[in-house]
Structure 1
Amino acid sequence: MITIVASTNRPGSYTLKLAEYYLKKLYEQDQLAEILSLENLPEGLVHPEMYENHKLPAWEPMQELVSRTKKFIFIIPEYNGSYPGILKLFIDACKFPESFSGKRTALVGVSTGKYGNIRGLEHFTGVCHYINMHVLPLKLHIPHIHKEFNEEGDIFKEDTLKFTNQQIKQFIEF
């Protein structure tokens, strides 16, 4: 099973829109997948005992999804030249090391600027290596994400179509 992590808690984000696009493309390839949007993190997740075994009951469904996931696709927007703090909180809240260790991941950076979160993906790649994830070498950087979608919510720019299709194909085989 593949889980696509929409790595921001910002409502109505382009990150979630791109996650929905990836989900559609994976379904077209007969892949079992679902989206985990960080918009849906339980309130109160940040508390003094979050790093111990005192998790919120509302956290358990997310931990179960992470535990049963074999592969992850992280769609990561640029926040202040890196990745969102809420993504780090999510990783920190998951059981370590079993949540991610030995699992495979693909990374997609997005921004409304012209670099597509290059630095943020490099920062997050370091986190992935620390938690022992296998990172697909083809990392995508999609700049000007707000200009990438047509009215149906599909990517329409030729280069972006080419590289997202290539990444999805490689990730299925990875």
Structure 2
Amino acid sequence: MITIISGTNRPHSNTLKIAKYYQKSLLKRGMDTRLFSLEELPDCLIKTDLYGQRSEAFKPIQEMVTNTEKFLFIIPEYNGSFPGVLKTFIDACDFPASFYNKKACLVGISSGRYGNIRGLDHFAGICSYLHLNVMPLRIHLSTIKLEMNNSNDLFKEDTLKFTDEQMDKFIAF
């Protein structure tokens, strides 16, 4: 099972739009996916699910993570890195079993010019610590609002070429 993580809890985010695009594209390739937006995290996460505690609200999320073999993280740039809520989500999951020896694919997005290059590097460092194996081909989608059409699909020829290559490699990974 592939779980696509929309790496922010910001409502109506471009991150979620890109996550849905990747989900549609993987479905066309016959892949069974699940989409999880960090908007779905329980409001009590910081008080109830860190440091070995577990709330009833987080249990199905932990079960989803446990049952995932491959993760596709869509990660927006926040202040030159990635959202703190994504790190909090990782911290709330059981360690080390949640991510140990599983596989991940990373997509960075930003409204600026660099597609969250630094944020993906920061996140990849955390993945290494967790023994979460990151596929070498990372995509950096810059000026994200210009990359999507009115249907929230990617449409630029070179972007489609690279994202298609990434998805094909991720399936084989």
Normalising to structure 2: TM-score of the pair? Answer: 0.98
Distance 1:49 1:18, change over 3 A: closer
> Equivalent residue of 2:46, what SS?
coil
Q: Determine the structure 2 residue equivalent to 1:154.
A: 153
Deviations 1:86-125 (A, max 9, x none): 0000000000000000000000000000000000000000
Q: Determine the structure 2 residue equivalent to 1:134.
A: 133
Which consecutive unaligned segments of at least 5 residues does structure 2 have?
none
- In the TM superposition, 1:72-91 aligns within 5 A as 72-91=71-90
* Percent of residue pairs bearing the same amino acid type: 54
| CA distance in structure 2 between the partners assigned to 1:38 and 1:48 by the alignment | 16
Distance 1:158 1:82, change over 3 A: same
| CA distance in structure 1 between the partners assigned to 2:84 and 2:17 by the alignment | 20
Q: Determine the structure 2 residue equivalent to 1:47.
A: 47
| CA distance in structure 1 between the partners assigned to 2:47 and 2:163 by the alignment | 38
Q: Determine the structure 2 residue equivalent to 1:13.
A: 13
Q: Determine the structure 1 residue equivalent to 2:32.
A: 32
Amino acid at match of 1:100: F
Deviations 1:26-85 (A, max 9, x none): 100110101110011001110176211x21100011101000000000000000000000
Q: Determine the structure 2 residue equivalent to 1:120.
A: 119
The answer as to 2:4 corresponding to 1:4 is: yes
Which consecutive unaligned segments of at least 5 residues does structure 1 have?
none
CA RMSD of superposed structures (Å):
0.9
